[in-house]
Amino acid sequence: MIKEQISVFDIFKIGIGPSSSHTLGPWRAAQQFTASLAQQNLLNDVEGIKILLYGSLAKTGKGHGTDVAILLGLTGADPVTFDVDAVTPTFEGIQRDKKLNLAGHLTINFDYNQDLLFLFAESLPFHPNAVTFQAFLNNGKAFSETYYSIGGGFVVKEGEDNSKKAQVDLPFPVEKAKELLHWCLSTGLKVSEIVMENELAWRTEAETKKGILQHFAVMRDCIYRGCHTTGFLPGGLNVARRAFPLNKRLISKSEYANYNDWVEAIRKGGNGFNYTLDWVSCFALAVNEENASFGRVVTAPTNGAAGVIPAVLQYFITFCDGYSEEKIIQFIACASEIGSIFKKGATISAAMGGCQAEIGVSSAMAAAALTECLGGSQRQVLMAAEIAMEHHLGLTCDPIGGLVQIPCIERNTMGAIKAITASQLALQSNPDKAKVSLDAVVNTMWETALDMNAKYKETSDGGLATNIPISLPEC
């Protein structure tokens, strides 16, 4: 049996909000479809396109920007580099002009209301997040492919044989936490060091470090931009941004011109409990308000949970004197391995497991990373991850109006605080006396996901989504 091999850059991806499974994944699927057309030498023969959205992609697709992402993906735009300020104008232009520039190569007629179908009552068996692309050709034939966005920006094409994907020779293969611990104890390496050794199977150490720091730069810029942008979030709920006024109040009259000056200004305010707590919340709010506004974020491991790890990392940088490239690389590498274990043993898709699979996993990742960076042992690192997830078990995904705003944004602040608390508990505990292992909590999370009612899995058919009266404009 072929085992899944996951790199740090599979867990952490640069993209555009608001959702990794509903925005980034469908965006990538659209790009793959146009690439398939090109490989089959069919791109010049396309006269029309239809897109069929199933399951959760249909039910919360508009609120999550699935339609926006797919159309931009079909044009050939890339979420890593595309100008975030051009997202909405480009999408609105396609709707208005009823034209789609396919792969940046061929302009075809496209009627948003007729050619993009939300099949609310239909779902495909493999995964709730499914999209089918149909290309109609000038010879009367059609070309069709179905893709599944399985969480965290991961995409699977129907009929694709994963066993044929290239495998690398990892020095320390890991499927479960117990295997990770075995490698750590037998070699004396930290979790992050195990990760960096494995990454050598894909690329040089210098390339891995450079890539991690590029991802950190996106996290850093996202926090800073979110703390300095005011207004309301798009989508019709009229949710006011809170990071801006909170930053303004906390920073008081301090003057600064850039991120580094801002960090120094924050430090000068002290490290009192309330002050620190407010800043952690501010960092998380900033990221997820950017995410909700089609901003550029890092899936960590998803967009809906994108604020937890940056907030805890920013806490480490600001209040724990962790502002060095090596510490940042260590933090992100360690976090990635915990996310990988959850991806292999359970899920990181809210459409499969509810919000425990997103905020819960991100909190566990952040707790582990912070613990290692603060000097915790390998056992304490795994203990911190277990504690964080244990207290997210059963968390449902019930976004109001299908938007990644309420309760998603505040949940990132809760996940960040829980991660810091879990780390402190682990650092003050003897892991040998722990009753619950990380593998046990991963298994429990998956069993809980399987038992969870489908209406609590990113469908907006239950929970807060049906108990809060709202009136959204028609999209």
- The string of DSSP letters for 272-306 reads -HHHHHHHHHHHHHHHHHHHHTT-EEEESS-STTT
* Token duo for residue 471: 């009136």
pLDDT value of residue 469 = 78
Same domain, 151 and 52: yes
Query: Where do the H-state alpha helices sit in 76-199?
Result: 87-97, 112-115, 177-187, 191-199
Three-state DSSP state, 327 = helix
Question: Within a domain: residue 56?
Answer: yes
Same domain, 122 and 209: no
Same domain, 66 and 181: no
Mean residue pLDDT of the chain comes to 95
Same domain, 339 and 197: yes
User: Rounded CA gap, 328 and 336, in Å?
Assistant: 12
pLDDT value of residue 473 = 46
Q: What is the CATH number of the domain that holds 138?
A: 3.30.1330.90
CB 384 within 8 A of CB 422: yes
In this predicted structure, the answer to whether residue 137 has a pLDDT above a threshold of 70 is yes
Same domain, 448 and 343: yes
User: Rounded CA gap, 4 and 165, in Å?
Assistant: 10
In this predicted structure, the answer to whether residue 72 has a pLDDT above a threshold of 90 is yes
> How far is the CA of 181 from the CAs of 173, 178, 198, 241, 359, in angstroms?
12, 5, 15, 42, 24
User: Rounded CA gap, 80 and 12, in Å?
Assistant: 12
Question: Within a domain: residue 51?
Answer: yes
Question: Within a domain: residue 244?
Answer: yes
User: Rounded CA gap, 354 and 464, in Å?
Assistant: 13
Q: pLDDT-based confidence at 471, cuts 50/70/90?
A: low
Three-state DSSP state, 204 = coil
Work out how many domains the chain is built from and give that number.
Answer: 2
Contacts of 12 (CB under 8 A, 6+ apart): 212, 215, 298, 299, 300, 301, 332, 336
Partners of 131 in beta bridges: 53, 147
User: Rounded CA gap, 187 and 98, in Å?
Assistant: 60
Q: What is the pLDDT of residues 346-363, one digit of tens each?
A: 999 999 999 999 999 999
Same domain, 324 and 460: yes
Question: Within a domain: residue 171?
Answer: no
Three-state DSSP state, 361 = helix
CB 458 within 8 A of CB 351: yes
Question: Within a domain: residue 245?
Answer: yes
- The string of DSSP letters for 222-274 reads HHHHHHT--SB-SSSS-PBP-HHHHHHHHHTT---SSHHHHHHHHHTT---HH
For 101, phi then psi, to 5°, come to -90, 95
Same domain, 146 and 234: no
pLDDT value of residue 165 = 59
Q: pLDDT-based confidence at 155, cuts 50/70/90?
A: very high
In this predicted structure, the answer to whether residue 161 has a pLDDT above a threshold of 80 is no
Same domain, 33 and 99: yes
Same domain, 181 and 154: no
In this predicted structure, the answer to whether residue 246 has a pLDDT above a threshold of 50 is yes
Same domain, 278 and 223: yes
CB 27 within 8 A of CB 18: no
In this predicted structure, the answer to whether residue 340 has a pLDDT above a threshold of 70 is yes
Partners of 134 in beta bridges: 50, 144
CB 33 within 8 A of CB 155: no
- Mean pLDDT, residues 183-198 taken together: 98
Same domain, 206 and 314: yes
For 251, phi then psi, to 5°, come to -75, -20
In this predicted structure, the answer to whether residue 248 has a pLDDT above a threshold of 90 is yes
Residues of the domain holding 249: 177-467
Question: Within a domain: residue 13?
Answer: no
Same domain, 182 and 159: no
